[in-house]
Structures are given as structure tokens and as C-alpha cells.
Amino acid sequence: MIGVKPRTLVIAAAIIVVGLFFLYAFWPRAAQVDLATIEQSHMMVTIDEEAKTRVRDSYVVSMPVAGRLLRVDVEAGDAVMQGETIVARIAPASPTVLDVRTEEQAGAAVAAAEAALALAKAEVKKAAVDEDFAEVEAERYRELRPHDAVSQSQLDNAERSWRAASAALEMARANVRLREADLKSTRAMLMTFSEAEERSVATNPHPREALEVRSPISGRVLRLIQESETVLPSGAPVLEIGDPQSDLEIVAELLSRDAVKTKPGDRVIIEKWGGDAPLTGEIERIEPWGFTKFSALGVEEQRVNAIIKFTCEKSDHEALGHGYRTEVKIVVWEDEEALVAPSSALFRLNGGWAVFKVVNGRATESTVEIGRNNGTQAEILSGLNDSDTVILYPGNQIVDGARVEKRRI
């Protein structure tokens, strides 16, 4: 046997080691993937939307008459009782500012009223003199009549003249009162603001002449539309009253294509309202009137109001008020024992759906028929069985028959 040189053995060993290294480096390895198990569990399909709470029957207290609204004493959140709590007080408005022409006209009217009053007082004096003369004349005729110095007709005429003079005196006195009232009325047109303030309700926070407006319902003040003292016309809103404890509901603006999938009685899960646990409710009604609204991206959308009532205990949502933000999940379909697969395991294949099922460490392409899909889970109608293992997020490197193993974290 020919001896082998040691150097040759070393070179051969080195070649073998390098070959084994390259063989190991380029040997196909199992792809690491995320796996999930098919199982029967509860599944539901929901319509998710932002919503806000509102008081079902809120009352806007308005000005019953035009006038000066005194500062509102109640504050938002205050409790009110129907027919008892005074929520607003209304006083007569202050006089308006006169322009130069109107002021001159009012001054002339005052002068004319003063002259008319002086004339009426002079007429009273004249009527008083006439009445005294007629009374003396009638008394004289009564003394002469028993002696037949005057006829009965002359006596009657004298007494008639006396009564007529008395009536004229009363008319003159009434005319004086009339002229005094006219003068007072015309002088009121020239009343200054300082004089008006002295007679107004400003110095008395609760004057007798102020009209008191009481709460139409029992509940709480939701908001003050006008708090400070001001002059308002009839019908102007002052504040809004409601009962958020027992009359609260939720309004969700659904896309019209989603609204047609819902119906009264559908279960609603109320989340992100500020509490620790979700609340429950149900669809009370879907309004038949849609409206146009633009999204944050400027996309025109048709929206429909869905009215949701609470089905949980009132104590569970007593912290909520009018106009609070929430998020709702309207359950349009659910199954307690659906065979479900993660939606991330599905991919399109020849117009249908397929998954990669793991069998003996290899990916096996399997077509499936799905039912409902909520974006997270998909209902499996056929193609998979309970406890099957599927690959999540299959990439381009995953093909039928490829070796796979669970990703190690």
C-alpha cells in the first residue's frame, strides 16, 4: 500500500470541511412562519361607528315676550323642578336712544301738552265761575217762585242752567286730568337713561314687575344659551333643560349602505365612553331621512341617524351627559359556535379563497369556502376542520409543499 503524505490528508480534510460548510449554508431550511389553529368559537360581524349621547326630549326655554333678560341665576348642571324653579326673569326694556329730530319733536310735544294743560286749567276756573253764578241764580228763582214773581218755567230754566254749569265744571276738571296724562306721556319720550335706571329693575335683582319664567320639566340645566343681562326679542332661546339620568340615548351617524343592514332590536356594544367596562344597548329606530356629510378627507357621504337606547342599568351610565362621545359596535350577525379562521390566513386563488394548511411540517395549499368576514375572523363553511393549523400572513416564499416551522420569538 502506497503511503499517503500527511500534507495530502490535511488538504483533503480541509476540502471536506469547506464542502460540508457550504452544504450546510445552502441547504434548504424550513421557513419560520406564524401559525394559528382553526377552532369553533363565538364570532360576530359589527358595524363600528363613532357616536354621541343626547337627551331624548330636551326643552329650549325661550323669551315669551320681548324685553330685558336679567342675568340668569341657574348654572349648567343645576337641578330644576317643574313649575317651581325660576330659570329666568324678564323686565321691561330701557328706552331707546333718540336722534336729534325725534328729540326736537318730543320737546315740541311736551310744550304743546303743557300749553293744553294750562288752557284746561283756565277752562276749569271759567266753568267754576259759571257754576257758582248758575247756582245763585237758581236759588234766587226758588225764593221768588212762592210769591209768583217768576213763572215755573223760568225756575225750571234756572235749575237746568245750574245743572248744565255743574256738568261743564266736571268736564273741565276731567279735561285737566286728561291733559296731565298727555303731558306725562310726552315727557316720558324725553326720559334719560339715568332716569330710566332709577325706575327700572336694575337696582333690584328680583323686582316684582319682572316676569318670572319657571322650568317646564324636572331635570337639569343642560346649557346656558344666554347668561348675561341683555335685551332679547320674543322667541329668543335662553337655556336648554333635560333629564340626562332617565332620558339619555345615543345617536350614531351611519353610512347609508351600513344603515340598510341594521334593524330595530339589533344588539349594540358601547365602548370608549370613559368607563372601565363596555355598556350595552340596542337599536331603537333608524331614521328614514338621510343627509349629506363630508368626511375628514373631504369625501361626500350619505349618512343616516341610528337611535340607540341603553339596555344596561341606569347606574352604569350615570356619569354620561348630553353630547358625550362614544364608539358603538352594532352587531348585525353573530354565531356562538362558528368555525373560524383568522382573516390574515386567507389569500385569493383563482377567484376564490385559499389558505396554507400545515401538514407534517409542510405548507399545503387548500381552497376554502368562507361565509361572514369581520376583518379579523372569517367563518369557514368548507375546506378546513376544527384543530387544523394554518399559516398567518403567507408571503411569496411560502409555496405548496414548502417546509415550515413555527416562528420563535
Beta-carbon-side half-sphere exposure of residue 280 (alpha carbons within 13 Å): 6
Residue reference for cell 365612553: 273
Q: Which helix (H) or strand (E) holds 273?
A: none
CATH of segment(s) 31-42+337-406:
2.40.420.20
Q: Tell whether domain 100-190 is in CATH 1.10.3720.10.
A: no
CA 160, chain centre distance (Å): 78
How much is the pLDDT for 209? 65
Q: Give the three-state DSSP class for 7.
A: helix
Q: Strands, DSSP E only, in 218-324?
A: 219-224, 230-232, 237-242, 248-255, 267-271, 279-294, 300-310
* 59-95+199-242, CATH topology level: OB fold (Dihydrolipoamide Acetyltransferase, E2P) (2.40.50)
Write out the chain's pLDDT in tens, 409 residues.
455 567 676 777 777 776 666 665 555 566 788 889 999 999 999 999 999 999 998 899 999 999 889 999 999 989 999 999 999 999 887 777 777 787 788 788 888 888 988 998 999 999 899 888 888 888 887 877 787 777 888 878 888 888 888 898 899 899 999 989 988 888 877 776 666 656 654 455 555 568 899 999 999 999 999 999 999 999 999 999 999 888 899 999 999 999 999 999 999 999 999 988 999 999 999 999 999 999 888 899 999 999 999 999 988 888 999 999 999 999 999 999 999 999 999 999 888 999 999 888 888 999 999 999 998 999 999 999 998 999 899 888 888 888 888 887 6
How much is the pLDDT for 22? 62
CATH of segment(s) 47-55+244-335:
2.40.30.170
Largest CA distance in the chain: 203
List, in order, residues 6 or more apart from 80 with CB less than 8 Å away.
74, 87, 215, 217, 218, 219, 220, 221, 241
Residue pair 408/34 in contact by the 8 Å Cβ criterion: no
Which of 345, 327, 409 lies closest to 383 in space, CA to CA? 345
404-406 and 31-37 beta bridge pairing: parallel
Give the global pTM: 0.66
86-91 and 79-80 beta bridge pairing: unpaired
How much is the pLDDT for 14? 73
Which amino acid would we find at residue 64?
A: P
The ranges assigned to domains in the chain are 31-42+337-406, 47-55+244-335, 59-95+199-242, 100-190
Residue 7 class from Cβ within 10 Å (0-12 exposed, 13-18 middle, 19+ buried)? exposed
279-294 and 267-271 beta bridge pairing: antiparallel
Q: How far is CA 341 from CA 67, 204, 349, 408, in A?
A: 69, 75, 17, 22
User: Which grid cell sits at 75?
Assistant: 348654572
Which amino acid would we find at residue 321?
A: G
How much is the pLDDT for 185? 84
User: Which grid cell sits at 166?
Assistant: 255743574
Is 59-95+199-242 in the same CATH topology as 47-55+244-335? Answer: no
How much is the pLDDT for 201? 47
